[in-house]
Amino acid sequence: MKIKNLILMACTGAFALTSCVEKNAPHNQLSEAEKSDGWELLFDGTTLDNWRDYNGEELTIPWFVEDGTIVAKGDGGDASGYIVTKKEYENFELTWDWKIAPEGNSGVLYHVVENPKFKVPYVTAPEYQLIDDAGFPSPLEDWQKTAADYAMHTTDPAKTKVKPAGEWNTSKILFDNGHVEHWLNGEKVIEFEAWTDDWHERKNSGKWVDAPEYGLAKKGLICLQDHGSAAWFRNVKIKELPRKTEEVSLFNGEDLKGWEVYGTEKWYVEDGELICESGPDKLYGYLATRNYYNDFDFSVDFKQEADGNSGVFIRSFIEPVAKVNGWQVEVAPMGHGTGGIYESYGRGWIAEINDEQQKILKEGEWNTLRIRIEGDNIKTWLNGEDMIDLTDEKIGKGQGRIALQIHDGGGIKVRWKNFKLNTL
């Protein structure tokens, strides 16, 4: 009766995937209708070929396949036990069946960013919590319970009906250009918009206050968690959704809303212009967008009032306390490569301008810098003149914030205005 009722719910309720599932349909397979609709299996019932270790090249940790299910052995913990898909996903609908051992704890994470500087997935990735609500050995906060957006959003308790440990549940995550839904056993239990003022307030006031890149990624890997107890997964399938483009207002001309300051240097607004100025510490300073922008066409006007050693970082992330990792389109005094591209970790200069291009900079006057980046190609222009056209695999794999820089050494003052950004 339980199976029959669950099938009826899937066929008639809002939680239906793409077609009614027959009562005796085999697990870990796609129907013809699902295939036509773009669904993809992340687990075929027999192998873990689509999965590997987090920050690894292959699957080495103790996950295995048994009776058509992915099994977490229970040997993981906070620092280990994570497997991720080999493919990244941006906008999607993800569904899966799961059950957990008594007193168990697990989770499904998405938009996971891999980098040696991120030791665990959850410092970048939102998590759909899976846990034995009734039998967990210590009290749980609402944000720790099953189907919660872990440490961010809690479920609607009237709609959250969890099967006991050892019984199968069905879950879904919908991520559609920042619109997020969590479903559990046929009911939508959470709905919110990512990257809004409310979302950032939650991020910056709770568990993630010291994880500056948490939840900002717009694409990434899907992750299953072994958190020290056995868990089982089956019917893991995903459907990718299209990306929407938009025109973004980065600077309102009044204050620094939408930006975050890193370091002790000065950032302020005066007469509708954004100004960066060296402070008494004479260190590096950054003003970074609070959101990620990956593929875009961006232009901004700048005037170097003093020294002018600055720059525009793209696809960059913050390493506490005030270090930016990524690629910088140079803004510098005459003869120092404005419009060229510098990598802040690893390779240094990866695209420099020539002597004739150096002369395009207008000292002490307003200049216009334009950056267009899509996939692994980046182009820059200064005052309408071509500067760099670079295709680079490493840049293609990056994602992150836009950030303005103040170089160290002191004595720097640059004015900025007319920020224009269109996502691609």
Question: CB–CB of 226/121 below 8 Å?
Answer: no
Percent of the chain with pLDDT over 70: 94
Averaged pLDDT for residues 45-69:
95
- Count the Cβ atoms, other than its own, within 10 Å of residue 204: 14
Q: What is the DSSP letter of 228?
A: S
Please, is 101 exposed, middle or buried when counting C-beta atoms within 10 Å of its C-beta (0-12, 13-18, 19+)?
middle
The predicted pLDDT at position 104 comes to 96
Mean pLDDT of the chain: 93
Which residues partner with 302 through β-bridges? 367, 416
Q: What is the pLDDT of residue 24?
A: 61
Residue 23 has pLDDT above 50, yes or no: no
Convert the pLDDT of each residue in 65-89 to its tens digit: 999 999 999 999 999 999 999 999 9
The per-residue DSSP string of 241-253 comes to EPPPP-EE----S
Contact 322, 262 (CB under 8 A): yes
**Helix H segments across 49-96?**
none
pLDDT tier, 322 (very low <50, low <70, confident <90, very high otherwise): confident
Residue 22 has pLDDT above 90, yes or no: no
Number of helices and strands in the chain (H, E)? 5, 28
Average pLDDT, integer, range 3-15: 37
53, pLDDT greater than 80: yes
Q: Would you say residue 230 has pLDDT above 80?
A: yes
List the beta bridge partners of residue 39: 239
Q: Long-range contact list for 374-377, CB < 8 A, 24+ apart?
A: 374/295, 374/424, 375/295
Q: What is the pLDDT of residue 70?
A: 98
Where is pLDDT greater, at 2 or 344? 344
C-beta of residue 375 within 8 angstroms of C-beta of residue 268 = no
Give the full edge-to-edge strand order of the sheet including 259-262. 259-262, 285-289, 401-406, 310-319, 323-331, 341-343, 348-351
pLDDT the model gives residue 345:
83
- Of 98-112, 158-172, 317-331, 347-361, which range is least confident? 317-331
259-314 per-position pLDDT tens digit: 999 999 999 999 999 999 999 999 999 999 999 999 999 999 999 999 999 999 99
User: Is residue 159 over pLDDT 80?
Assistant: yes
Q: Please list, residue by residue across 151-160, b when 16 or more beta carbons sit within 10 angstroms of its beta carbon and e when fewer do.
A: bbbbbeeeeb
pTM score: 0.91
* 274 contact partners, CB below 8 Å, separation of at least 6: 251, 256, 267, 268, 287, 404, 415, 416, 417, 419
DSSP letter assigned to residue 153: B
> Cβ of 367: how many Cβ atoms within 10 Å?
19
CB 145 within 8 A of CB 153: no
120: which residues sit within 8 A by CB, 6+ positions away? 54, 78, 79, 82
| Residue 320: predicted pLDDT | 83
Distance, CA of 329 to CA of 121 (rounded, Å): 29
| pLDDT higher than 70, residue 2 | no
Model pLDDT, residue 15: 40
Asked if 312 and 371 touch (Cβ cutoff 8 Å), the reply is yes
Residue-wise DSSP of 97-115: EEEE-TT-EEEEEEEEPP-
Higher pLDDT, 13 or 338: 338
**346 — pLDDT class (breaks 50, 70, 90):** confident
Instruction: Of 414, 338, 415, 423, give the one whose Cα is nearest residue 374.
Output: 423
Give one word for 153, left, alpha or beta, with left for phi > 0 and alpha for psi -120 to 50.
beta
